[in-house]
Amino acid sequence: MCTASTYKTKDFYMGRTFDYEFSYGEEIVVTPRKYVFDFRHTDKLTTHYAMIGMAFVADGYPLYYDAVNEKGLGMAGLNFVGNAVYEDAAVNVKTNEVQVAQFEFIPWVLGQCGSVTEARKKIAGMKLTGTPFSARLPAAQLHWMIADKNDCIVVEAMEDGLHVYDNPVGVLTNNPPFPLQLFALNNYAGASRRQPENTFAGTLKLDAYSRGMGGMGIPGDLSSQSRFVKVAFTKLNSISGESEQESVSQFFHILGSVDQQRGCCEVDEGKYEITIYTSCCNATKGIYYYTTYDNHQISAVDLHEEDLDADGLIRYPMITECEIHWQNKN
């Protein structure tokens, strides 16, 4: 499945892993301000904030997995299978009620909102529908993390309605619903970056025989709840310099703590979930960094190097082949 995280040094960063058994052919896609978003149930956006992110482009439309806009607001959609429930689109809608198809949710928010505060207000008057993009691309069961440099929320559409939660750790995985993901951290209140003190029994001498024993009990399996705990612990204890190189490098190390290797998570006979790509976006500067399963060389696309007043999508295929930098060969 997937893991999303935020990170802040001098600038604000947001990114995710995309873990699945196959790729849809996703690309890094820049949507400039004058690309027209012709929404299914609400008014089209003929001008909006520019955005950059990873998307599968279908019939000229960017189906974003994760993206940030030129104002520094970021958003990622992660699988929420078995829990996501959308509403049916209604012909006659209530006054001021906006219907948004789930595949439109990321551009609908990022196109109009410059902060989490603005996104909260927009979402409060919205109904999220299960309208499919096409017969070939049905509605995906997702929940979303939305973040800026000051705030972070999670949005979940469930059987009992639409929920918006504060996210104090800036991490999201898949199941269970976010409140249960967050509650699970209580089980690890004793975990620490420091070596443990012997509190087992006053009369028994015990030794910390290895470094890193303060974190014993932090899970290492690939389940979504375990990944949430692992990345939350790693991120919240993470220390790096303030430079761009140090910040980006550290962010990839944080998400690398839950990297999925081929063969460790079998989803069907002979089919294995792997980390297809990992992204890290400097939301402050609009730079989208990424690595892929076979190419750990960091690649990047800069939003502000493009014509942001254009009206057509700008697309960059992922660089997926392994690149080795030889030091002693011409």
Catalytic residues: 2
Q: How far apart are CA 246 and CA 259, in angstroms?
A: 20
Those residues whose C-beta lies under 8 Å from the C-beta of residue 207, and which sit 6 or more positions away, are none
Those residues whose C-beta lies under 8 Å from the C-beta of residue 330, and which sit 6 or more positions away, are none
Of the candidates 253, 224, 184, which has an alpha carbon nearest to the alpha carbon of residue 13? 253
Phi-psi region of 184 (alpha: psi -120 to 50; beta: other; left: phi over 0): alpha
Q: How far apart are CA 38 and CA 43, in angstroms?
A: 7
DSSP state of 206: -
Of the candidates 11, 144, 173, which has an alpha carbon nearest to the alpha carbon of residue 75? 144
Q: How far is the CA of 319 from the CAs of 1, 26, 39, 51, in angstroms?
A: 21, 11, 31, 20
Sign of the CA dihedral running 209, 210, 212, 215: negative
Please give the distance of CA 34 from its chain centroid, rounded to a whole number: 25
